[in-house]
Amino acid sequence: APKAGLLRRPTTTLARVGARELRDPRLAALLDAYAWAYGFDPADAPASAAVLPYMEQTFGSWYVAGGLRALADAVYERCRKRRVEFVFDAPVEEVLEKDGRAVGVRLAGGEEVAADHVVSGAPVPALHPGGAPRHQALGTGRVTVCLALRGPREADAVHRTVV
């Protein structure tokens, strides 16, 4: 029988692994950005989340033909057919929560609007009550630039490059 605890290692977080293994803080920020993009706080995400950029780089990632605009348009039209109400140009100060669930929003003027569902495009740190978590340094972790080029790609050109 195997000895108990022989292969046991203390658990750690993605942020700790990034800080320990990636000497350049910009690389650690890039690793953190992957976690944030998947909805994880790197300070709480398990170290195994480091597999996310590997999986994306090795096997690729799916994307919508026509880009995010096409996805947004399709979702909007589908929701309108189901009588979903959208409100635009209404600055939101806070997503209201009750029992760990979003129940509405507080607008910039102070008006509270109840909602069955809240869809937010705000960065993950902005959704935390009181602002970003104190342990998370604010700054740009990753900038994405999409270029539309004319003409065919070279045969060995990669689809996506992280610089």
Q: Which residue has the higher pLDDT, 116 or 6?
A: 116
* Residues 6+ away with beta carbon under 8 Å from 137: none
CA dihedral sign of residues 73, 78, 79, 81: positive
Amino acid identity, position 5 = G
Least Cα distance to 41 among 142, 132, 162 occurs for 132
Residues in the chain: 163
Distance CA 48, CA 69 (A): 32
Please name the residue that has the structure tokens 């348009």.
Answer: 73
Whole-structure pTM value: 0.42
**pLDDT per residue as tens digits for the range 34-54:** 888 877 889 988 998 888 888
Q: Mean per-residue pLDDT for 75-103?
A: 90
Whole-number pLDDT of residue 74? 93
Least Cα distance to 17 among 7, 4, 27, 2 occurs for 27
Distance CA 18, CA 50 (A): 8
Say if residues 28 and 19 touch (Cβ distance below 8 Å): yes
Average pLDDT, the chain: 80
Long-range contacts: 52-59, Cβ < 8 Å, 24+?
57/162
Q: Helix count (H) and strand count (E) of the chain? A: 4, 3
Sheet holding 92-98, edge to edge: 92-98, 101-107, 112-114
Q: Mean per-residue pLDDT for 93-110?
A: 91
3-state secondary structure of 87: coil
